[in-house]
Amino acid sequence: MTATLGATPTIVLVGHGMVGQRFLEALAERGLTATHRVVVLCEEPRPAYDRVALTSYFSGKTPEDLSMTDMEFIETHGIELFVGDPAETVDREARKVTARSGQVFEYDVLVLATGSYPFVPPVPNKDAEGCFVYRTIEDLLAIEEYAKTRATTGAVVGGGLLGLEAAGALKGLGLTSHIVEFAPRLMPVQVDDGGGAALLRTIEDMGLTVHTGVGTQEIITDESGAVTGMKLSDGSELATDMVVFSAGVRPRDQLARDCGLTVGERGGITVDEQCRTVNDPHVFAIGECALAADGRVYGLVAPGYEQAETAAATIAADEAAFTGADLSTKLKLLGVDVASFGDAHGATADCLDVVYADSRSGVYKKLVIGRDGELLGGILVGDAEAYGTLRALTGSVPPVSPEQLVLPAGSGGGAQLGPSALPDEAVICSCHNVTKGTIRGAVTEHKCTTVPEVKKCTKAGTGCGSCVKVLGQLVNAELEASGVEVDKGLCGCFSQTREELYEIVLALRINTYQQLLDRYGREGARGGDGCEICKPAVASIIASLAPTIGASGYVLEGEQATLQDSNDHFLANLQKNGSYSVVPRIPGGEVTPEGLIVIGEIARDFGLYTKITGGQRIDMFGARVEQLPLIWARLVDAGFESGHAYGKSLRTVKSCVGQTWCRYGVQDSVRMAIDLELRYRGLRSPHKLKSAVSGCQRECAEAQSKDFGVIATANGWNLYVGGNGGATPRHADLLAQDLSDAELIRLIDRFLMFYIRTADRLERTSVWLERIPGGLDHVRDVVVEDSLGICEELESLMADHVANYADEWATTINDPEKLARFVSFVNAPDTPDPVVGFVPERDQIKPDLPLLSIGMRPTENTAEVLEGSAQR
């Protein structure tokens, strides 16, 4: 069928990747979605997703997490999105596009955003079973399935960006991983020989085997046609069960070729500075499929975004031109920072190199400097902390010597340049081409006072995110320059930060909130009641230091009880209908049949909803506040204790079964998980803590998505820190490796107490690790090398916690005075809350919220609900 368009002009977008989605947003910003019909033909079975972060799928992100498509945006702007239905032919004379489904769309403007395809070298058996490419989510799903069932060793052809990510993914799947790169070094486009050498050492230390300077001659297969190895150009053979090709990409320009559009000699749809194809004014090309007017195909997302903006502006009859783009990149590959900017390889005539290299720590920094002192470019490996500032200074003469820019801070020669060193024309956000002057204007002219406000105003920091740190520095600097005092205090009651308050409490042994407020609160706050920000924050500090400063570790004791938030008030998580959850601790996920029976009987007797959690324990939902002591009395009697699901403290230490049961296990991960959970249970911290222990490199416990994670090796344990599987997932970084049991526990003790000491209020370890000056290197210096000389004190603080731990629920049920708080109505303690109701679902219960919302009386007895469900 043919889609008739009528009088409304139509824009057809072919391809819905990151650049295609940005083009749609640019259309909407210019009001073109209101005046045009917009049709999108998407080849993949899912709409646009973050291909830059593709590898994070193996760190716990789901395809949904990677999605960049807000369906509400699509619907609001009336965009017709056809997923899994690519364009197959274009009739430029009739201005019609035919999709695979047979639908035909007429167009006034056609925009090609078809991206690129993986290059697979023409070697024998390249399509054998066990050969994959690394480009889409579907590719990753196929690799994951094959690795689980068919492979123990994997080889990646290509040592560039995607190749290293693919190799890391294979290693994370438990495979022995090899990288085969034809060039003499890894990442030959981004780094030079020195940077490649530093990168090589670091990656080999992680257990990956690298083969550089050799090519793939043939894929070796068995009788069934499955991969068994590779022949390399040096005559050697490499045994492998899987081959992943990641040897570069090529522009997807076949659709353009077929309809007679001009393409470059080496591929790419030829366009002018407005991104319009050179031989058809009605057709545009953007992103990796386009050969720009400067003769380059850009493979980075930032230039693609700029091309999308240019095309949308041209369609809207605005003046715009794409004349080239910044190719600077900052990446984190296998946990290693790699960045390059400007003329990184010194192609400019008559330039000088300034190099700093530390092979021990895997750090390499090179700046390319013109004879006049101008910063032309650079390469950073292992330490890219200064990337944002250095990239912004490119093209100018820095205010300090180049040597000072590469030497480490604190070395006697290192210099830390602040935002004031950057010129207004310096591009801070290369993804959206936002300059320092624009950011300053957002603060001074548009009255933005926070980073989120500046992001919304300018789009800076909403792309790859590498500029967010510099963005924050600029916002604060501009506020201060405008005479606005940047208040770094915890809240309106305290001018000190949380870290400063922690030091005050520890040094002066202050053990009550009121004493701290009266002595160190702001003028006007002293003698008052405090606020909802500082009360739980100070309560956490006092609880974490309780044995050392002489305070009660029980959070419902005296003054401490008045400081807690809603969950800690009743030692349980408040749910959406006013009921509570009950979560007993199950260390390491290990539980006896007798323990399971007790939990099952309690859930049955109290009519609770039960669910196995991702942290390897059992949640029971639906308890009324007066039932909590009754439930916990039975749990404590059976040997269970509080799981602290309600507190900012350690939640769980997840584990696989380890060497005790698993044929791949190399250490006893269950024992270690239990030891760690029992050691750190009840430890109050700025935010909740999660951990995991994996018994081998297959990583079944997902340790690298935890605040501190442990992975077994043949020689001991590797410790990872700063991971997070929440709303903003972060892969944990390797802190130390091949540790003994005692070394592992000692480092975790130090890490946790250093985090508790220096983190901000409600700051996860992942955010703290990226915020704290010096990042992981500084944390490693402090907790491993004892650079500050505080490790003995950190260990002592943890020892105090371990020695004085007491289960909160065991303490509560044995004290009639403490039990008095567990009532819905103080003046009617025997009366249950009538608004806590439930309805049946899947032979259990769920909150009765729809009834409550229209004023109907809820069901009060969960047993009646379940009985009614069974009868139905």
Is 491 flagged in the annotation as binding? Answer: no
Give the Cβ contact number of residue 184 at 10 Å.
11
HEC string of 730-753? ECCEEEEEEECHHHHHHHHHHHHH
Which residue pairs, CB below 8 angstroms and at least 24 apart, start in 843-850? Answer: 843/869, 843/870, 844/609, 844/610, 845/607, 845/608, 845/609, 845/622, 846/609, 847/575, 847/576, 847/577, 847/579, 848/577, 849/576, 849/577
Instruction: Name the helix (H) or strand (E) containing 530.
Output: none
Q: Going along 313-384, which residue ranges are E strands?
A: 329-333, 336-342, 351-358, 363-370, 375-381
3-state secondary structure of 709: strand
Burial (Cβ within 10 Å: 0-12, 13-18, ≥19) of residue 638:
middle
User: How many CB atoms lie under 10 A from the CB of residue 522?
Assistant: 15
700 is in an annotated binding site: yes
Q: Is 289 annotated as a binding residue?
A: no
Distance (Å, whole) CA 337 – CA 792:
31
Q: Which helix (H) or strand (E) holds 496?
A: none
Paired sense of beta strands 131-133 and 650-655, if any: unpaired
662 is in an annotated binding site: yes
Contacts of 542 (CB under 8 A, 6+ apart): 505, 511, 512, 513, 549, 551, 560
C-alpha–C-alpha distance, residues 144 and 172, integer Å: 10
Pairing type for strands 209-212 and 176-181 reads parallel
Contacting residues for 620 by C-beta, under 8 A, at least 6 apart? 581, 582, 583, 599, 602, 603, 606, 608, 609, 610, 631
The span from the CA of 556 to the CA of 564, in Å, is 8
What CA–CA distance (Å, rounded) separates 404 from 421? Answer: 14
Our CA dihedral for 220, 223, 227, 230, rounded to 10 degrees, sits at: -10
State the Cα–Cα distance between residues 431 and 305, nearest whole angstrom. 7
Reference 329, options 355, 351, 307, 302; nearest CA is: 302
d(CA 170, CA 445): 50
The CA distance from 754 to 750, in Å, is 6
What does the block give as tokens for 588? Answer: 């390491």
Give the list of residues 6+ apart from residue 341 with CB closer than 8 angstroms, or none: 326, 328, 329, 377, 378, 387, 390, 391, 394
Q: Which residues are annotated as a binding site for [4Fe-4S] cluster?
A: 656, 662, 696, 700
Binding-site residue set for siroheme:
700
- Binding site, by residue number, is 656, 662, 696, 700
